[in-house]
Amino acid sequence: MSTSYIGSKTAAENGAEFTLSTGSSRAFFVFPGFGGGEHLLLQIKNSGGSSFSDVGILAENGQNTGVVTARGAGDSIFRVVKSETSTAIEVFFD
């Protein structure tokens, strides 16, 4: 069953932090789909700090799903950032 991660809105928003252990994954998708230039950005929390670094685009126009898989040693803390969108879009994860 899918869980809402970022509620339906047009404004950009940082999603909540989540932790994945090495080798584990979390799939994200949006509804409805993105328009041109709209995306989900994956970020990873920097060691020993409260700041995040960009990993890359997780999903965008024409690709409305993405999977995060932890590859480092030990647990990693991530968040997903939704860009501003022209229509209200909700972000879910499985």
Q: What angle do CA 92, 2, 64 make, to 5 degrees?
A: 40
The residue assigned the tokens 């860009």 is 83
3-state secondary structure of 13: strand
Q: Where are the domains of the chain?
A: 3-93
pLDDT tens profile 12-33: 999 999 999 999 999 999 999 9
pTM, two decimal places: 0.94
Closest CA to 73 of 22, 6, 39: 22
- Kindly tell me if the per-residue pLDDT of 72 is higher than 90: no
Burial call 31-41: b when 16+ CB within 10 Å, e when fewer: eebbeeebbbb
pLDDT tens profile 29-56: 999 999 999 999 999 999 888 899 999 9
Alpha-carbon gap, residue 62 to 23, rounded angstroms: 27
Alpha-carbon gap, residue 90 to 24, rounded angstroms: 23
Domain 3-93 has CATH 2.60.120: yes
Report percent pLDDT > 70 for the chain: 100
